[in-house]
Amino acid sequence: MKLIFEKSRPGLGCSILAPCDVPDAPLPARLTRKKPARLPSLDENQISRHYSALAKRVFGVNDGFYPLGSCTMKYNPKLNEEMARLPGFTDIHPLQPEHTVRGCRKLLDTAARYLCEITGMDAVNFQPAAGAHGELTGLLLIKAGHESRGDTARKRIIIPDSAHGTNPASAVMAGFSVVNIASGPDGCIDLGALKAVTGPDTAGLMLTNPNTLGIFDPNILEITRIVHEAGGFNYYDGANLNAVAGIVRPGDMGFDVVHLNLHKTFSTPHGGGGPGSGVVGCKKTLAPFLPVAGDVMECDGAEHPHSIGRVRAFGGNFLVAVRAAAYLLTLGKEGLPQAAKNAVLNANYLMERLRAKLPPAYPGPCMHEFVVSLEKLKAEHGVSALDFAKALQDQGSCPGIHPPTIYFPLIVHEALMIEPTETESRETLDAAAEAFLAVYEQALTDGESLHAAPRTTVIGRPDEVKAARHPAVRFRGE
Ligand SMILES: *Cc1c(COP(=O)(O)O)cnc(C)c1O
C-alpha cells in the first residue's frame, strides 16, 4: 500500500476543516514557518479511501479477541465515547475564565473523588499523559518527600524482576538508581531479598500487585511495612487495576503513591498511541508536592510552594477523564467490583481450559492474567513463543485472534502472557481456547509450518531485527 505522500499530486486538495470561528491572531515571527509545511494534497474521496484501507489492515478490539497481557485491551463502551464528544467538553479552552468551565471542573472533581476512593489515596492529579509519565511524576513526589525532610541520602528504588520495563526506566529518569530483586519460586517478592536491600539509602519500592505474572502477593502488608520501617515510600504501579478495582485498595495495602492508566482500565481506547492518562494519586504526606499548572483548569488559586512543578501543559488529557467518569458513573459501586471479578473469572477460566496442554508458569489461581511458558515446546519441537503467537492470527475465521503478549515478563522463558479481560463472553473464551489448543497440536505434528505463520494477514513476518535497528518511521520524500 502506498503512503499518503506517495499518492499526493500537486494541485489536488480539499478543505475538510470547519472554517475558523475566531479572528486570526498574528503569530510572533519566531514561531512562523520559513517555508510552507509539506503536506500531501489529495481530493476528499482519495483521503477517505486511504484511511478506510488503513483501517482494514489493523486489528483492534472491535475486530476480535485481543488477550494482550498487561495491556488490558478490553471493550470500551461506546457510550463513554459519546460523552467525551459532547460539545460542552470538547469546545473549551484551558485559558477560559473559571466561571465558564465550572461543569468541566466539576467533572474533574467527580472523577478525582472516585479515583481517590478506588485507590485509597487522598489526592489525585490528571496531568501525566501516560503510565510511564505517571511513574516519573510519582517518583518525583517520592524524591521531593525525602528532600523536604533534608534526607538526601535516599537514592535507590527497589524493583522486582517481574516489573514492567517502564518502572526501572522511570526510576532512572527521576534520578534514582535501581536495585533489582529476584522473585521467589512462587513469582512473589522474596521477603529475605527485600530485607537485604532495604536501608537508609532506600527511597522506595515500586511494585505491581497483582504482578505481571497475574499473582497477588499474599505478603503485601509485610512488604510495604518493611519499606516503611526503613524510611522509604511504596509506589504502586496501577496501570492495570482490572483485577482489583472496587475490591482492594493500594492505599490499604500500604502504598503511598499510585498511578493508574485510565487508558487501560477506565475506558479510553488505546494501542494506537492516542491520548492517555497516567493519573497519579498519593497520600496526604506527599500531596503538597503534586504538580500544579497555574492555569484555570488546574489551579485552585492557592499557593503551592512545594509542588514539583508542572509535568504537562494545563490539566492533562481532559477527555480521557471524561470517559473515566462516565465509565465509573455507569458501573457504580456494585458494577466496578463485578467487572474486576469477571476479569479474574475469565482469566482463570481460560487458564483452566489450557492447563492440560499449556500449563501456567506459576501454580495457583491467577488474577486478571496468566503466563504460560513454551520453553519445552521450543526445545522439543522448535516452536517458539513468536511462532505460536503468529499462528494464532491464522486461527478461526478471519481476522483470527490477536496474539497475547510474548517474551514478557522477562523471568519466564518463551512466555505467552494472556489477559482475556472481563468484557469477553464464555463463547469467545471457548473459541480462543480451541484456537490455542489447535496451534499446540499443530506445533506437535507439524511445527515446521508454524515458522511461516501468519499466512492470512496482510503482512506476514516483518524483519524484526531490521525494524528494531533501522526503523523507518518518517517519510523522507524525494
Ligand atoms: C502499560 C503499563 C505501563 C506503562 O503505561 P504506558 O501508558 O504505556 O506508559 C506501566 N506498568 C504496567 C504494569 C503496564 O502494564
Ramachandran class of 11: left when φ > 0, alpha when ψ lies in -120 to 50, beta otherwise: left
Please report the pLDDT score of residue 464 as a whole number: 86
Question: What's the angle, vertex CA 411, arms to CA 407 and CA 412, rounded to 5?
Answer: 55
User: Ligand 1: which of 70, 71, 73, 369 to mutate, most ligand atoms within 8 Å of CB?
Assistant: 70
CATH class of 81-327: alpha beta
Q: Indicate which atom in ligand 1 lies nearest the CA of residue 70.
A: 15
Please report the pLDDT score of residue 300 as a whole number: 54
Q: Give ligand 1 pocket residues (Cβ under 6 A).
A: 70, 130-132, 164, 166, 208, 237, 239-240, 261, 276, 278
Backbone angles phi, psi at 3, to 5 degrees: -75, 160
Please report the pLDDT score of residue 236 as a whole number: 98
CB contact at 8 A, 121 and 282: yes
Ramachandran class of 41: left when φ > 0, alpha when ψ lies in -120 to 50, beta otherwise: beta
Please report the pLDDT score of residue 399 as a whole number: 66
Q: Indicate which atom in ligand 1 lies nearest the CA of residue 261.
A: 7
Please report the pLDDT score of residue 198 as a whole number: 98
E strands in 273-343: 280-282
**Residue at 374: amino acid letter:** L
Q: How far is the CA of 235 from the centre of ligand 1 (A)?
A: 14
Please report the pLDDT score of residue 140 as a whole number: 98
Where in the sequence of the chain do the CATH 3.40.640.10 domains occur?
81-327
Please report the pLDDT score of residue 302 as a whole number: 62
Low-confidence ranges of the chain (pLDDT < 50): 295-299
Tally of CB atoms within 10 A around 292: 18
Nearest-CA residue for atom 4 of ligand 1: 131
Q: Which of 66, 53, 3, 48 is nearest to 458 (CA)?
A: 53
End-to-end alpha-carbon separation of the chain, Å?
18
Q: How far is the CA of 266 from the centre of ligand 1 (A)?
A: 14
Q: Indicate which atom in ligand 1 lies nearest the CA of residue 163.
A: 13
Nearest-CA residue for atom 14 of ligand 1: 239
Please report the pLDDT score of residue 296 as a whole number: 41
Q: How far is the CA of 131 from the centre of ligand 1 (A)?
A: 5
CB contact at 8 A, 350 and 429: yes
Strands 415-418, 370-373: pairing is antiparallel
Q: How far apart are CA 198 and CA 98, in angstroms?
A: 46
At residue 256, the 3 state secondary structure works out as: coil
Q: Indicate which atom in ligand 1 lies nearest the CA of residue 132.
A: 9
Where in the sequence of the chain do the CATH 3.90.1150.10 domains occur?
338-468
Maximum distance among all Cα pairs of the chain, rounded to whole angstroms: 71
Task: Count, in order, helices (H) and strands (E) of the chain.
Answer: 15, 10
Q: How far is the CA of 18 from the centre of ligand 1 (A)?
A: 36
Q: How far is the CA of 169 from the centre of ligand 1 (A)?
A: 12
User: Ligand 1: which of 72, 73, 135, 166 to mutate, most ligand atoms within 8 Å of CB?
Assistant: 166
User: Tens digit of pLDDT for each residue in 306-328?
Assistant: 999 899 988 899 999 999 999 99
Cell of 134: 505517571
Is the CATH code 3.90.1150.10 the one for domain 338-468? yes
Q: Which of 332, 406, 346 is nearest to 70 (CA)?
A: 406
Q: How far is the CA of 263 from the centre of ligand 1 (A)?
A: 10
